[in-house]
Amino acid sequence: MRKVFYSLIVILLLSSCITGKSKPSNFYNLVSYDNSNIKIKNKKRFITNIEQVVIPAYLDRPQIITLNGEDTEFNISETNRWAEPLASSIQRTLARDIYSYMPNSIIRSSLIGVTDADYHIYVIIDKFDGRFGDKLTMNVWWSVLNKNGKILITKNSSFEGDLKSNSYNDLIKEYSKLVNQLAIEIGNKINSL
């Protein structure tokens, strides 16, 4: 009798492992902001290509990464993921945010090699980290080249935001605000050329 009882328990445990469902994944993408209400001094018309956005290798994965208690330890969420590669999302969001800031211009992303642009933007992000209940940080090197390939601007910019909640939705909105701040800074610099 005991053998039958133990056999049934083993079968039930095994069947629960086999039929158990994993938690469904949530997918996120950066959002653009409407910058048309920000006043700019000179509304130049130009064509700009955002040629490339480079992110650190540790961020180049589908899972969303956040900082743990220390700056050297990361949490990798298996159930909260980027809907597309993060570098592509940043590139497209940056283009839309610059365009909303300077709607007289043409801002394009992902058109590497197109030569008719007045300006070419290259972005290297070396920090794009957030900690729930604390802050987010984006550190970025960016350059603007003219149509002949001459470097007009090279700058290192840092942006911070607050993240009071433990929500991934709030995390992505705050990340989007950091990208928007970069878009406004780039738009201002290009507009002053």
User: Residues 156-188: pLDDT tens digits?
Assistant: 999 999 999 999 999 999 999 999 999 999 998
Taking Cα atoms as reference points, which of 119, 72, 73 lies closest to residue 95? Answer: 119
Q: Which of 15-19, 36-40, 58-62, 91-95 has the lowest mean pLDDT?
A: 15-19
Alpha carbons 37 and 51: distance in angstroms, whole number: 27
pLDDT recorded at residue 38? 78
The model carries a pTM of: 0.85
pLDDT band at 106 (very low <50, low <70, confident <90, very high): confident
Strand partners, 18: none
| pLDDT tens, position by position, 36-63 | 787 765 567 888 999 889 999 999 999 9
Fold classification of 46-191 is: Rossmann fold (3.40.50)
Taking Cα atoms as reference points, which of 190, 184, 135, 182 lies closest to residue 160? Answer: 135
Ranges of each domain in the chain = 46-191
pLDDT recorded at residue 17? 55
